[in-house]
Structure formats: structure tokens, C-alpha cells
Amino acid sequence: MRKSAKRPCLLVAAGPTRERIDPVRFISNYSTGTFGYEIAKAAKRRGYSVVLVSGPTYLKEPRGVKVIRVESARDMKRAVMRQLPRAKTVVIAAAVSDWRPRFEAKRKIKKGAGKKVLELVENDDILSEVGNRKRGRVVAGFALETENLERNALRKLLQKNADLIIANRLGDSSIFGDGRTSVVMIDKWGNRTSVRNRTKRELASNVLDRLEAF
């Protein structure tokens, strides 16, 4: 890609979100953010202008990438929607928490005083929101499944109006962290590409190849 040409913008959301219970506790998940960061880095190497909306991770910020740090799913949605107008390609690789506590206690909840029940409410689905405002953009998401990998992934692709879904099965590879893993990519026409036993850096490049083919 020529440096002087206006560079297309790729927006990536990566990492987990944290949903606060009180000032010292939260609910979250095991996501490290590695895959999304590798996609951001690969896109940067290919000459895109890259915006990375990142939940809390220990990863180093990729050089030359605009990084917007967020904590909760609501923060992430706000940041993604704000950056959306400039993006031509969007990859929602974040492990967005599906729920948040209905109430966030302003003070530390003390132990004792009987049974504690945590009431949860559902967070908005960021990929669906992006899918609903697609307007010529190419939109990709992930599907993390413990069973019925391809059926569930295809359902998510259609329900969320994505162009491409990258499906991982939890259990047969180290999807969390930086080990090797396998994915199946399914596009909106039903084409299916299986990529086995690759590093996330390699897979990120495969994902960009697929996105660029649109």
C-alpha cells in the first residue's frame, strides 16, 4: 500500500472487559487480548491506519497504532461506536462480558450478614450494533464455542450481520494466551476455511487475507 495514499482505517476491539461489583471486585474472563493485538499489528504492517479499542490487558501497546483503553463493555461499546465512522474494516475480537452486575456498590461490600446474591443484566452486543450500521464496511467477529462450533458460529454470523466469523473451539487448543491454535473462518456466503495449529501472529495474517478478499 502506498504511504502517500490515504490509508484505510481498520478498527479492532480486543481483550476482556471488566464489570465492576464494587471498588475492589469485578467479573471478567480469561481473555488475554493476544489475537486482537496481533490483528492490529498485522494491519499496521500492511499499511492500514489502525485504531485498537482495548479492554484491560498486560500486552505492550503496538507501535504506530492508536490505542483507546476501556474497562467495561459499556465503555467499549461507546469507544467503538465513536470510532466507527472512520473505519472501513472492523474486527470485534474482544471477549465482551455478556453481563454486568445490575448495581455497582460505591463502597467495598463487607462479608457477613448472610447470603449474597449478585444480580446480572445483559450488556449490549457490540458486534451486532456494528453489523446494524455496516454501510459498506467489512465486519468480522469471533465465536468461542465449547460445542457445535460451526453451527453456532454460522448462527452468530447471520444474527450479528457480520461478513466473517472466526470460530475457535475451547478445549482442543490454547485459545487463551499466545500458544498455537486452530480456527475455522466462515464468510457470509458460507465459504469455510480451516486453519490448523498456527501462532496467533500467523492466524492474524490469515484473517486479514480473508478480509481483504471482500
As a dihedral over the C-alpha atoms of residue 30, residue 175, residue 184, residue 48, rounded to 10 degrees, the angle is 80
- Exactly one of 40, 51, 143, 175 binds ligand CTP (CB under 6 A); that residue is 143
Return the range that interacts with ligand CTP (CB under 6 A); candidates 38-46, 90-98, 100-108, 188-196.
Answer: 90-98
Residue of 40, 44, 46, 39 whose CA lies nearest to 1: 46
**Residue 156 in contact with ligand CTP, rule: CB under 6 A:** yes
Specify which residues 85 forms β-bridges with: none
Q: Least Å distance between CB 98 and ligand CTP?
A: 5
The answer to whether the beta carbons of residues 196 and 213 sit under 8 Å apart is: no
Q: Considering the rule CB under 6 A, would residue 35 count as an interface residue with ligand CTP?
A: no
The footprint of ligand CTP on residues 163-192 (CB under 6 A) is none
**Residue whose CB is less far from ligand CTP, 34 or 123:** 123
Regarding 94 and contact with ligand CTP (CB under 6 A), the answer is yes
Q: Which of 92, 157, 203, 211 binds ligand CTP (CB under 6 A)?
A: 92
Query: CA-to-CA distance for 10 and 3, rounded, in angstroms?
Result: 16
Binding residues for ligand CTP, rule CB under 6 A, total: 14
Residue 161 appears among annotated catalytic residues:
no
**Three-state secondary structure along 48-80?**
CEEEEEECCCCCCCCCCCEEEECCCHHHHHHHH
Q: Which three cell numbers stand for residue 57?
A: 490487558
Give contact residues for ligand CTP (rule: CB under 6 A).
73, 92, 94, 96, 98, 123, 125-127, 141-144, 156
